[in-house]
């Protein structure tokens, strides 16, 4: 069975014949690459609108002064460092250790805001679609109208092509005269 069936749907295998070995290799590579990724602090990624996202990190015990958020290229990195108190704890179950968590962002995704409230760090992201990548409607014209509009808008081009044609015709006539003699 395809290891990606749970992600891609039960009918996915119907359309891709002979890719089972590739899927197995991808699954193996994924498990190898992700086995050393720390799971602290826990986080959520929510899609909050058509083009907006929120990354939430549970950072109890950290203040704004303890957290650094940096964007370098397409890499968003959140680092937290906290002085560990040497009090007389009988049990210390609340994680208060340093962390680094990174996310790769699409080129179109920008960080809009970050806020820390009740131990939850929220980073608000927005995908800004450039005008040239937005869907556009193409108007279908009648052929005669399109040709007329094109010709009317490019009179100079048509005249230049006509002039070039006349020059070429003149050269051809001169060459014919020389061949005749």
Higher-confidence position of 93 and 148:
93
Summarised one tens digit per residue, pLDDT across range 84-110 is 777 778 887 776 788 888 888 888 899
**Reported confidence tier of residue 10, pLDDT bands at 50, 70, 90:** low
Question: Is residue 38 within 8 Å of residue 79, measured between CB atoms?
Answer: no
Q: Give one DSSP letter per residue of 83-142, joined into a string.
A: PPP----S---S----EEEEEE--TTEEEEEEEEETTEEEEEEEE---GGGS--------
Please state which of the ranges 52-61, 75-84, 106-115 shows the lowest mean pLDDT. Answer: 75-84
pLDDT number for residue 23: 76
pLDDT number for residue 170: 56
- How far is Cα 51 from Cα 129, in angstroms, rounded to an integer? 9
pLDDT number for residue 181: 47
Higher-confidence position of 177 and 101:
101
pLDDT number for residue 16: 65
Fold of 39-133: Immunoglobulin-like (2.60.40)
Closest CA to 97 of 46, 24, 39, 50: 39
Residues contacting 40, CB < 8 A, separation 6+: 95, 97, 99
DSSP H helix total and E strand total for the chain: 4, 7
């Amino acid at each position: 069975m395809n290891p990606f069936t749970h992600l891609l749907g039960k009918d996915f295998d119907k359309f891709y014949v002979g890719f089972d070995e590739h899927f197995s290799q991808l699954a193996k590579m994924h498990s190898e690459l992700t086995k050393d990724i720390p799971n602290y602090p826990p986080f959520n990624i929510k899609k909050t609108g058509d083009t907006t996202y929120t990354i939430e990190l549970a950072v109890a015990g950290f203040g704004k002064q303890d957290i650094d958020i940096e964007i370098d290229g397409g890499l968003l990195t959140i680092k937290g460092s906290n002085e560990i108190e040497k009090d007389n704890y009988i049990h210390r179950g609340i994680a208060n250790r340093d962390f680094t968590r990174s996310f790769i962002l699409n080129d179109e995704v920008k960080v809009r805001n970050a806020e820390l409230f009740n131990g939850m760090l929220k980073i608000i992201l927005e995908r800004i679609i450039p005008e040239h990548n937005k869907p556009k409607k193409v108007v279908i014209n009648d052929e005669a109208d399109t040709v007329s509009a094109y010709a009317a808008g490019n009179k100079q081009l048509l005249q230049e092509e006509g002039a070039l044609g006349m020059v070429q015709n003149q050269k051809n006539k001169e060459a014919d005269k020389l061949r005749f003699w």
